[in-house]
């Protein structure tokens, strides 16, 4: 995947040993064991006092409810950085095709999946997601691909097995691109910026996908499905393949489990959108925990954004709180942060009165 030659990415391949560990989780090898982290921060399982926001695309689009729903979208992006989007309008058969093909891919024999194995320094391919500062491995197998079709990326790097995979991903990726443009239009209206400014930041930019499979684990209190992280790009749109919970969002130092609403997509603000909106929208930390009985799979589309090759706040949102940085430098810094367990976007923040 084209992210520049000097970008350091630490992903690990899924070995036979990793597969055996996933298949029989009686013993948790040291590289996966992080019981202290799982319990870190209160998980509010039965606390009814919170609700992760819901946004309804049909209400955004209908003239009589658009204003109120846009305000809801805005407060979800400001307060949580996360919401579930109902009535998103992505064709049901396209969604189903994506789910079926993702599942079929993960059910293939390891040897077949490893035809697309990550290799040193590469972001794309099949393997463990990222290994952060702890060097522990996540309890997941993940396939990461560039989905934007241009001269640099090609479907040739997409799985040829199952045979319908490329067609399904191509259709889904196009639908999510148009959905993103629609959503970004309402965000611009909430923020009071020129629609063209925010749309221009997303239009024609890279899109990539991460598909994750979290096998069940007999010791869900000892492993983590995905290490706590912020998404580094513009916007992420997550599809639950099987409606299994597991995703948790951090707010006020606590982890809040997200209860997947069947048929909805989970949308979250990435670090670049936080910068574009001059900190008005927040990119929230999130992680995935696993279940003792149920496996879980997700398909996450990442939409990239920049302003003419630069990551910086859009005009009209007050005095800039972040320094402008060239996009390539941003990507490098972001991966360095992921590897070191720091958050690069924090280093762009400026002291303003
Ligand atoms: O699978 C999930 O629920 C979350 C995945 C995620 O956070 C990511 O790919 O960045
Ligand atoms: Fe994420």
Ligand 1 atom having least distance to the Cα of 210: 9
Q: What is the pTM of this model?
A: 0.95
Please state the rounded mean pLDDT for residues 166-183: 96
Quote the ligand 1 centre to 352 CA distance (angstroms): 33
Q: Is pLDDT above 90 for 5?
A: no
Q: Is pLDDT above 50 for 86?
A: yes
Quote the ligand 2 centre to 283 CA distance (angstroms): 10
Q: Is 212 in the pocket of ligand 1 (CB under 6 A)?
A: yes
Q: Is 298 in the pocket of ligand 1 (CB under 6 A)?
A: yes
Q: Is 241 in the pocket of ligand 1 (CB under 6 A)?
A: no
Task: Kindly indicate whether the ipTM for this predicted assembly is greater than 0.90, answering yes or no.
Answer: yes
Give the ligand at the shortest distance from the Cα of 130: 1
Please state the rounded mean pLDDT for residues 305-320: 96
Q: Is pLDDT above 90 for 215?
A: yes
Who has greater pLDDT, 335 or 166?
166
Which of 112-116, 219-223, 270-274, 335-339 shows the lowest per-residue confidence on average (mean pLDDT)?
Answer: 335-339
Give the ligand at the shortest distance from the Cα of 140: 1
- 32-342 homologous superfamily: B-lactam Antibiotic, Isopenicillin N Synthase; Chain (2.60.120.330)
Percent of the residues in the chain that have a pLDDT greater than 90, as a whole number: 78
Quote the ligand 1 centre to 248 CA distance (angstroms): 10
Residues with CB under 5 A from ligand 2 (ion): 231
> For residue 2, what pLDDT is reported?
43
SS (H, E, C) the chain: CCCCCCCCCCCCCCCHHHHHHHHCCCCCCCCCCCHHHHCCCCECCCCCCCCCCEEEHHHHHCCCCHHHHHHHHHHHHHHCCEEEEECCCCCHHHHHHHHHHHHHHHHCCHHHHHHHECCCCCCCEEECCCCCCCCCCCCCEEEEEECCCCCCCCHHHCCCCCCCHHHHHHHHHHHHHHHHHHHHHHHHHHHCCCHHHHHHHHCCCCEEEEEEEECCCCCCCCCCCEEEECCCCCEEEEEECCCCCCEEEEECCEEEECCCCCCCEEEEECHHHHHHCCCCCCCCCEEECCCCCCCEEEEEEEECCCECCEECCCCCCCCCCECCEEHHHHHHHHHHHHHHCCCHHHHHECCCC
Q: Is pLDDT above 50 for 340?
A: yes
Q: Is pLDDT above 80 for 84?
A: yes
Residue nearest to atom 3 of ligand 1 (CA): 247
Please state the rounded mean pLDDT for residues 131-140: 83
Who has greater pLDDT, 154 or 126?
126
Ligand 1 atom having least distance to the Cα of 214: 1
Quote the ligand 1 centre to 315 CA distance (angstroms): 31
Q: Whole-number mean pLDDT of the chain?
A: 91
> For residue 8, what pLDDT is reported?
63
Which of 8-17, 179-188, 248-257, 260-269 shows the lowest per-residue confidence on average (mean pLDDT)?
Answer: 8-17
Percent of the residues in the chain that have a pLDDT greater than 70, as a whole number: 92
Quote the ligand 2 centre to 47 CA distance (angstroms): 24
Quote the ligand 2 centre to 247 CA distance (angstroms): 9
> For residue 102, what pLDDT is reported?
98
Quote the ligand 2 centre to 338 CA distance (angstroms): 12
Q: Is pLDDT above 60 for 45?
A: no
Q: Is 210 in the pocket of ligand 1 (CB under 6 A)?
A: yes
Q: Is 286 in the pocket of ligand 1 (CB under 6 A)?
A: yes
């Amino acid at each position: 995947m084209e992210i520049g030659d000097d970008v350091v990415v630490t992903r690990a391949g899924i070995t036979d040993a990793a597969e055996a560990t996933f298949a029989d989780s009686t013993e948790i090898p040291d590289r996966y064991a992080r019981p202290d982290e799982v319990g870190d921060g209160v998980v509010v399982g039965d606390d009814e006092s919170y609700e992760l926001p819901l946004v309804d695309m049909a209400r955004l689009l209908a003239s009589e409810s658009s204003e109120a729903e846009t305000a809801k979208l805005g407060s979800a992006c400001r307060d949580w950085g996360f919401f579930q989007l109902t009535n998103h309008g992505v064709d049901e058969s396209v969604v189903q095709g994506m789910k079926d093909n993702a599942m079929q891919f993960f059910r293939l024999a390891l040897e077949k999946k490893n035809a697309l194995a990550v290799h040193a320094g590469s972001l794309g391919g099949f393997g463990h997601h990222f290994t952060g500062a702890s060097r522990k491995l996540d309890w997941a197998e993940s396939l990461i691909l560039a989905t934007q079709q241009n001269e640099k990326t090609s479907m040739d790097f997409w799985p040829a097995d199952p045979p319908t995979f490329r067609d399904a991903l191509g259709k889904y990726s196009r639908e999510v691109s148009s959905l993103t443009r629609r959503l970004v239009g309402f965000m611009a209206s909430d923020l009071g910026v020129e629609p063209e400014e925010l749309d221009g930041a997303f239009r024609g930019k890279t899109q990539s996908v991460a598909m994750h499979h979290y096998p069940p684990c007999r010791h869900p209190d000892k492993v983590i499905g995905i290490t706590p992280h912020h998404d580094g790009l513009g916007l992420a749109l997550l599809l639950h393949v099987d409606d299994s919970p597991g995703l948790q969002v951090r707010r006020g130092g606590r982890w809040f489990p997200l209860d997947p609403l069947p048929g909805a997509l989970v949308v979250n603000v990435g670090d670049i959108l936080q910068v574009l909106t001059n900190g008005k929208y927040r990119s929230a930390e999130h992680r995935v925990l696993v279940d003792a009985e149920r496996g879980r799979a997700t398909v996450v589309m990442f939409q990239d954004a920049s302003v003419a090759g630069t990551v910086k706040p859009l005009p009209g949102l007050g005095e800039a709180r972040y320094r402008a940085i060239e996009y390539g430098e941003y990507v490098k810094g972001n991966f360095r942060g992921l590897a070191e367990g720091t958050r690069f976007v924090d280093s762009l923040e400026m002291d303003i009165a």
